[in-house]
Structure 1
């Protein structure tokens, strides 16, 4: 699925986070601590990965990049590139998937991002420590939740990685988020079905174009109203009013321009159901 995330250069934040979670998958996971607040299900969402700005009136939850600050007085979700390297951030070569010719494997859609090697438990633990540094930074800044992008990187790994390995790694990331007091969001990957919640432990979902791809019902069946959806102006099924009127559309659905620009841009678009 196309992702409309800007490839933002980010500074690496590597913390000495000790991971003790096993790498396997279990049939169920414990509920997050009661102190963790889930995103609001009323009001409106905003998705600001292209730059931070004062959210429109009525916005109750906003997503920003991990290099940004949370919005004052508004529930803020921190975007973290959980399964691929962030542009400009150097990772150990041993934690990058390589092609048969020995070159780092890149995401075809984002050629400045490499796919993280999570093929073994040892590599998952080491990689989770690095990603966990970004998660901890989000919590320190005052974000209340985190969304981990690129869970579906295994499908672009040319057979180097499996869904089971991605689930095992996601469990580590979610456990770290909960330990830092953050709710954890599943990003896209509707093919997980209920496993995102029951096996990994995600608390909510962030989908891009679930209406366009007819996936909204898959997310709401698992997460109920705890689904934030972003539709894009260049690939709508009908009008945005028609999108909002469909019974499967999550209440917290918004329309954005593909590049997620700020209001200073002539291309900026924002509407909410």
Structure 2
């Protein structure tokens, strides 16, 4: 039976799977940890989820959606736009005195995972956010930009990402939260077996041909978000059977219903 001290909303099955993963017994895909039903990805403006929605992901600054499995989005390996000044200066990756920015998201600065002191400060900073997600009623965290090492110019590597993720996943589990891998599909085995992630959140896994890389490791515990600019025939892709069961097609800007461009479709 589950301990009465454990967060009640996590099922015994989910807790057992987490315990098995932490023990290192991860040779097979975990049992189904995520509820059946539709997914909504609301990292923009939060809104009441449409009927049939069982899983909702929202930014860490938004409240969890009631009566759903709520995932708290955290930009754990890069700074969030508009929040650069909130980070200790020693945590920011620099090259020739200049901060290193994500070329696709120039408002985001990479965090320095190659320096032990900086890494400790990063874990302290992000760990506080994770605990806050648990205190506010979320069920899981999504740790974004695990692949920042590919943009670091060699300043740190996948080992540093795994080491940092392992500590952060431990914080999540201690807070009664499941932890979701985001990005670094080719490193999914290490992220699950070494870092202890419970499930994966993919973006455009069909467009980038990464769906099987996640499914081979996490089984049914994969959430995928596709976008119309790279998914021209969503019904056809659904029919092809390559998408995870928990897939949603969203507009790129993740706007709310009633706003221009809003889109939400499911297979």
Question: Do Structure 1 and Structure 2 share a fold, with TM-score over 0.5?
Answer: yes
Question: How far is the alpha carbon of 1:127 from its aligned partner?
Answer: 1.0
4+ long deviations beyond 4 Å: none
- Unpaired stretches in structure 1, ≥5 consecutive residues: 1-27
Question: How far is the alpha carbon of 1:85 from its aligned partner?
Answer: 1.3
For the 8 Å contact 1:85–1:115, the answer to whether it is kept is yes
Aligned to 1:165: 160
Aligned to 1:233: 228
- Count of aligned pairs between the two proteins: 239
Aligned to 2:266: 272
For the 8 Å contact 2:113–2:119, the answer to whether it is kept is yes
Cα shift readout 1:124-163 (whole Å, capped 9, x = no counterpart): 2221010011111111110000000001111111111111
Q: Secondary structure of 1:235's match?
A: coil
Question: How far is the alpha carbon of 1:246 from its aligned partner?
Answer: 2.3
Aligned to 2:217: 222
Aligned to 2:93: 97
Aligned to 2:236: 242
For the 8 Å contact 1:38–1:145, the answer to whether it is kept is no
Cα shift readout 1:25-66 (whole Å, capped 9, x = no counterpart): xxx84379xxxx9431x2110000111011111110000000
Aligned to 1:11: none
Question: How far is the alpha carbon of 1:123 from its aligned partner?
Answer: 2.5
For the 8 Å contact 2:24–2:193, the answer to whether it is kept is no
- Unpaired stretches in structure 2, ≥5 consecutive residues: 1-20, 26-31
For the 8 Å contact 1:150–1:187, the answer to whether it is kept is yes
TM-score by length of 2: 0.86
For the 8 Å contact 1:30–1:201, the answer to whether it is kept is no
Aligned to 1:194: 189
Aligned to 1:203: 198
* Higher helix proportion: 2
Q: Secondary structure of 1:131's match?
A: helix
**249, 263, 269: which one aligns with 2:257:** 263
Aligned to 1:71: 65
Cα shift readout 1:189-248 (whole Å, capped 9, x = no counterpart): 111031111011000000000011111111111111100000001111x41111112233
For the 8 Å contact 1:190–1:215, the answer to whether it is kept is yes
Higher relative contact order structure (alpha carbons within 8 Å, sequence separation ≥ 6):
1
2:132 corresponds to 1:137? yes
Q: Secondary structure of 1:60's match?
A: strand
TM-score by length of 1: 0.84
Counterpart CA distance in 1 for 2:221 and 2:239 is 18
Counterpart CA distance in 2 for 1:195 and 1:167 is 7
Counterpart CA distance in 2 for 1:199 and 1:173 is 12
Aligned to 2:49: 55
Aligned to 2:29: none
**101, 106, 109: which one aligns with 1:106:** 101
Report 1:118-133 matches (<5 A): 118-133=113-128
Counterpart CA distance in 2 for 1:31 and 1:266 is 47
**25, 30, 44: which one aligns with 2:23:** 30
